[in-house]
Amino acid sequence: MKYSNRNRVQFLIAWFLLISIAISGCILVVEEDHDRHHHLYGTDWYLEIVFYGVRSISARDEGIQLSFVNETRFEGISLCGPFSGDYSLNELDELSIESFSSDIGTCDSGEASSIFLTQLPQAKQLIREKESLRINTGRSDYLMFLEK
């Protein structure tokens, strides 16, 4: 059986396409995410609910706002005034508050504000969902924020 030049060209094109498809399916692109928490920065988070022990306390009317300034610094405002600090967040979303400052001792605030200001320094984990942010502060205690 003789092959014409046309058959050889068709065979080479088919072989090339088959190899190209096979190789393209095997290529794995690995993107390094140096700043996987960039969605936190520049977003204002408003404390909605404080879950403390067996209680849930609405914080909606207390106007507590939290902002992550960059990958190591946060700041915000509560009924007691401004607060700020440094934090670290690893690839497992484990959150650690490195430093924290507030005028908590000079303020008679609402219940949610008082609990928030004592619980935030105990943060353990950060969970980001579509438009909410949850900061776990204990076994069953957490702070739930909504994006504004």
Q: How far apart are CA 116 and CA 125, in angstroms?
A: 15
Does domain 38-147 sit in CATH 2.40.128.270? yes
Q: How far apart are CA 66 and CA 147, in angstroms?
A: 10
88-140 residue pLDDT tens: 988 888 999 999 998 766 667 788 888 898 899 999 999 988 889 999 998 88
18-43 residue pLDDT tens: 676 666 665 554 444 445 565 677 78
Q: How far apart are CA 33 and CA 73, in angstroms?
A: 20
Instruction: Report the Cα 14 to chain-centroid distance in Å.
Output: 47
Instruction: Report the Cα 72 to chain-centroid distance in Å.
Output: 13
Between 26 and 56, the more confident residue is 56
- Return mean pLDDT, the chain: 82
Q: Is 17 helix (H, G, I), strand (E, B) or coil?
A: helix
Output the pTM of the full model. 0.71
Residues 6+ away with beta carbon under 8 Å from 45: 65, 66, 67, 133, 145, 146, 147, 148
145 has a pLDDT exceeding 90: yes
**Residue type (1 letter), 2:** K
**Residue type (1 letter), 90:** N
27-32 long-range Cβ contacts below 8 angstroms, 24+ apart: none
Neighbours of 142 (CB within 10 A): 20
Q: What is the pLDDT of residue 38?
A: 59
**Residue type (1 letter), 14:** A
Q: Where are the domains of the chain?
A: 38-147
